């Protein structure tokens, strides 16, 4: 039951869900002293929920290694265990990201053919939301990891963006074929040779993210996390400058009143709650990370992302795509065996 405003935001978000959907039930883990008083205010949520009290808390300062070794009765660990033991179809946490990823990977394990799970999320662009991964789980990767991220990103985009054939681009320092390091060069060679992606675009640059050049942006966790944090920081900077400009004079304040519909439109487009819900793709179970500072609408969205992934059996889709790629890779194995070895 992690998060900056937990458990209030979580309980209120779940209460909204049960008003809109009849087919979702919940297992809620946390402190009975904190959760039960809030649950009492929502009879409908209570009727479709099971509350499981836990006694330990994984804080924002808890190291992943410590979370793995201890905290046996934490809400995070117990919720993940419920997925492993098939008592739940998916888990959502707004708690410590590092601890959550470490526990989820160890407890759930990875899908066959997947080396590493990737943190995946939605980012805004001028043509609508786009899928981006990895957002920080894997700093060092090899070409095979990039391929896996690409396939998982396509499976996710088909669900959340409702696209039949999402386009994929590899984030690079340039769009030219010869740009980038050995990992990206070999990954591109493998993608083009095996043709495992129907709609592979090629290399993209940082500004292609906001342009919406492709539907799925693939990067290692180092570049992906920096790109995400830069976008978030730029949005806050622009908001700060805008407020400064509005407060400079009476005329600018009047202008802001006249421009209120336009400003509201921009705010709505950049509303972080609309992009909340970042799954750890590649695990043998559905695990979704909610931003710790999200609001009620944001947590609602994280639940919807989780439910959609469960309904559409994303893990089976990922497994099928990985298996197909493995077959194609074996057919062309001799073409890039030495290159892959050199880049890994």
Strands (E), 213-292: 216-218, 278-281, 286-289
Q: Can you give the CATH number for the domain in which 149 is found?
A: 3.40.718.10
Q: Which residues contact 313 (CB under 8 A, 6 or more apart)?
A: none
For residue 142, tell me if it sits in a domain. yes
Q: Is residue 242 part of a domain?
A: yes
In a domain, 100, yes or no: no
Domain-embedded: residue 188: yes
Confidence at residue 293, expressed as pLDDT on a 0 to 100 scale = 86
- Rounded to whole angstroms, the Cα distance separating 3 from 207 reads 31
- Bond preceding residue 64 cis, omega within 30 of 0: no
Residue 139 forms part of a structural domain = yes
Cis check: omega of the bond before 134, within 30 degrees of 0: yes
User: CB under 8 Å, gap of 24 or more: what pairs does 199-203 form?
Assistant: 199/165, 199/166, 199/167, 199/168, 200/150, 200/167, 200/168, 201/167, 201/168, 201/169, 202/169, 202/170, 202/175, 202/177, 203/169, 203/170, 203/171, 203/172, 203/174, 203/175, 203/176, 203/177, 203/179
pTM: 0.88
Q: What is the pLDDT along the chain (344 residues), one digit of tens a residue?
A: 666 787 999 999 999 999 999 889 999 999 999 999 999 999 999 999 999 999 999 999 999 999 999 999 999 999 999 999 999 999 999 999 999 999 999 999 999 999 999 999 999 999 999 999 999 999 999 999 999 999 999 999 999 999 999 999 999 999 999 899 999 999 999 999 888 898 999 999 999 999 999 999 999 999 999 999 998 898 889 889 988 999 999 999 899 899 889 988 888 888 888 889 999 999 999 999 998 888 999 999 999 999 999 999 999 999 999 988 888 877 766 554 434 444 54
Q: Does residue 81 lie in a domain region? A: no
Predicted local confidence at residue 337, as pLDDT: 47
Is residue 128 included in any domain, yes or no?
Answer: yes
Q: Count the domains in the chain.
A: 1
Long-range contacts of 235-243 (CB under 8 A, 24+ apart): 235/270
**Residues near 229 by beta carbon (within 8 Å), at least 6 away in sequence:** none
**Which residues span the domain enclosing 344?**
123-272+316-344
- Residue 116 within a domain: no
Q: What is the pLDDT of residue 334?
A: 52
């Amino acid at each position: 039951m992690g998060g900056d405003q937990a458990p209030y935001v979580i309980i209120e978000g779940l209460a909204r869900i049960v008003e809109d959907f009849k087919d979702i039930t919940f297992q809620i883990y946390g402190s009975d002293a904190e959760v039960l008083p809030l649950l009492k205010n929502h009879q409908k949520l209570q009727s479709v929920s099971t509350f499981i009290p836990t006694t330990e808390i994984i804080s924002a300062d808890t190291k992943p290694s410590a979370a793995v070794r201890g905290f046996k009765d934490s809400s995070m660990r117990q919720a993940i265990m419920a997925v492993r033991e098939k008592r739940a179809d998916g888990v959502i946490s707004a708690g410590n990201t590092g601890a959550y990823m470490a526990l989820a990977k160890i407890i759930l394990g990875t899908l066959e053919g997947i080396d590493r799970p990737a943190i995946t999320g939605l980012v805004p662009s001028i043509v609508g939301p786009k899928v981006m991964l990895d957002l920080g789980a894997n700093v060092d990767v090899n070409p095979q990891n990039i391929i896996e991220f690409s396939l998982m990103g396509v499976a996710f985009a088909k669900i959340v963006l409702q696209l039949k054939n999402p386009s994929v681009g590899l984030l690079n320092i340039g769009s030219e074929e010869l740009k980038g390091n050995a990992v990206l060069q070999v990954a591109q060679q493998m993608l083009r040779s095996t043709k495992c992606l129907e709609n592979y675009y090629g290399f993209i640059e940082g500004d292609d993210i906001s342009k919406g050049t492709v539907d799925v942006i693939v990067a290692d966790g180092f570049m992906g996390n920096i790109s995400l944090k830069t976008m978030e920081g730029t949005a806050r900077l622009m908001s700060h400058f805008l407020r400064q400009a509005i407060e400079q004079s009476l005329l600018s304040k009047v202008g802001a009143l006249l421009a209120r519909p336009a400003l509201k439109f921009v705010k709505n487009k950049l509303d972080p709650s609309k992009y909340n819900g970042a799954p750890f793709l590649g695990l043998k179970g559905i695990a979704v990370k909610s931003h710790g500072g999200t609001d009620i609408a944001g947590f609602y969205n994280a639940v919807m992302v989780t439910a959609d992934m469960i309904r559409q059996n994303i893990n089976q889709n990922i497994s099928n795509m990985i298996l197909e790629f493995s077959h194609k890779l074996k057919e062309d194995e001799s073409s890039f065996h030495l290159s892959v070895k050199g880049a890994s």
